[in-house]
A and B are shown apart, each in its own frame.
Chain A
Amino acid sequence: MIASVSNFRGGVLLLLWLLGALLSGGECRAQGCDSCRVAPERGRRLDRREHVGYEGIERIVPTHLKVQYAGGMGFLSFGAGWDYGRKCRWETDALVGFVPHTYSDKFHATFTLKQNYIPWSIRCSRRLAVEPFTCGIYMNFISGEDYWVREPDRYPTSRYYGFTSRMRLHLCVGQRLTYYLREGNALRHVTLFYELSVSDLDLIAKCGNRTLALSDIVYFSAGVKFQLIRNR
């Protein structure tokens, strides 16, 4: 646990550094609208998210970048994603991560496809908003010859073990804190988030064991989302 906490602290420091570097970054004038901007204040509306849809080929341009620490998808994962739907409630991310040699038999690359749902955003001040509940599901693949999707031919049957070691499914819930930057910044807003996740195999184990505590199978992760400004 001591190792976990110290590693976690390292991750949080890294995230804070990234955030600091970002906020102190140079001015970058940008025009146009982005996919998910703050709507002008009207009365006391709590959820200020507003979706301005992309059109045509623009839809393939990512709306945000992400960095995530841990979560069963690697030591660190980086990637891009797209948010969409009414009030930008849906979010799909594609992340590439790694497990360094220090924490495994050798260096492993990881690939994650993640689907999130963020039902609410609550404005706390002019620039701060809280997303009190997020949930999601993600599929993670790991590189390396010792992992399989389909069991190797050496086994007497195709379902000798009956699971895939290369691919894991995870469920997660979390919370977020979003800071909306001033006009003219390179980014629209920056979101800090954390998640509690559980893997498919641990869920299976939990189903058959009453003594297996939820805290035994739930893992903490954290990250930063950088909302991009789309230039026209």
Chain B
Amino acid sequence: MMALLSIGCQVEYHPYDTRIRGARGINARNIARIEEACAGRRTLRFAVLSDTQRWYDETRDAVAALNGRDDLDFVIHTGDMADFGMRSEFERQRDILEQLRVPYVVLIGNHDCLATGERIFREIFGAVDFAFTAGSVRVVCLNTNSLEFDRSRAVPDIDFIERQLAEYPAEAERTVVAMHAQPYSDQFDNGVAPYFQSRLREFPGLEFCVHGHGHRFLVEDIFDDGVNYYMCDNIQKRSYLVFTINEMGYDCERVEF
């Protein structure tokens, strides 16, 4: 009886333990797929999901809706997979997103930083600041959840941004920046917000920034400098954003499912 149950049931030492089951290193694996599939292309289309925490049903529906399309190159999740930072939440969300036909990358959200969450995020998905090149577009993904780190680390990591600027790949011409919490939100280190933006504007062909955290759709030129910040709905609103980037510029569409 006990043997049967042990096979059928999971064992948990603590909800915040870091005994991760299943796939790890998701972002590195998927970035390799994205870069390979998009190499040499100047037109791209990708979807953005955000704030899927504890909305497993809606996330499954979103994945089904995205799998129903055949025009996407990849998907970006702008953070908050977990609600309480528990290992099981990351695993469940990962297992749902693994059903996507196109590769996806995940950014860290403030809820993902709770307790051992950041450690689990790094194990399952990878670094909290990362970047990749999809055709002619450089996508820079940043951890902006400053409040969670309480000044123990530089968040956002300006050094990382400077390295990205210094090592900007030759094949990229335009830049998209993704983050979880936008400047002047309750999570952002607002003392550095103007400087942060001034550094982002140094990226070649900065098109727009996309983020989550606010749980609603909003387009805002936060710094009044022509760089739009697109806030993605939380998944409970049953919507996602689709960005199409071509030689003419870019287009954003909010899609309900």
Contacts and interface: CB of A to CB of B under 8 A. Distances in A.
A, B bound: yes
Interface of A: 1, 3-5, 7-9, 11-12, 70-75, 99, 103-105, 108, 110, 140, 142, 146-147, 152, 154-156, 161, 163, 165, 168, 175, 194, 196, 199, 201-202, 204-205, 208-212, 215-222
Given A155-B147, A165-B84, A219 B18 contact: no
A155 B150 CA distance: 10
Contacts of A73: 14
Nearest to B120: A105
A110 B17 CA distance: 12
Given A99-B14, A146-B116, A165-B114, A152 B9 contact: no
B15 interface: yes
Interface residues of B, number: 38
Contact of B6 (A201, A211, A218, A220): A220
A218 B9 CA distance: 7
B18 A105 contact: yes
A104 B116 CA distance: 8
Given A152-B150, A155-B147, A74 B13 contact: yes
Contacts of B150: 152, 154
Central interface residue in B2, B13, B60, B150, by most chain A CB within 10 Å? B13
Contacts of B116: 104-105, 146
B2 A12 contact: yes
Interface of B: 1-2, 5-19, 21, 54-57, 60, 83-86, 88-89, 92, 111, 114-116, 119, 147, 150, 186
Contacts of B54: 204-205, 208-209
A122 B228 CA distance: 70
23 contacts: A4-B10, A5-B6, A5-B7, A8-B11, A9-B6, A11-B11, A72-B13, A99-B13, A99-B17, A104-B16, A105-B119, A110-B14, A147-B16, A165-B85, A194-B5, A196-B9, A205-B83, A208-B55, A212-B56, A212-B57, A219-B10, A219-B12, A220-B9
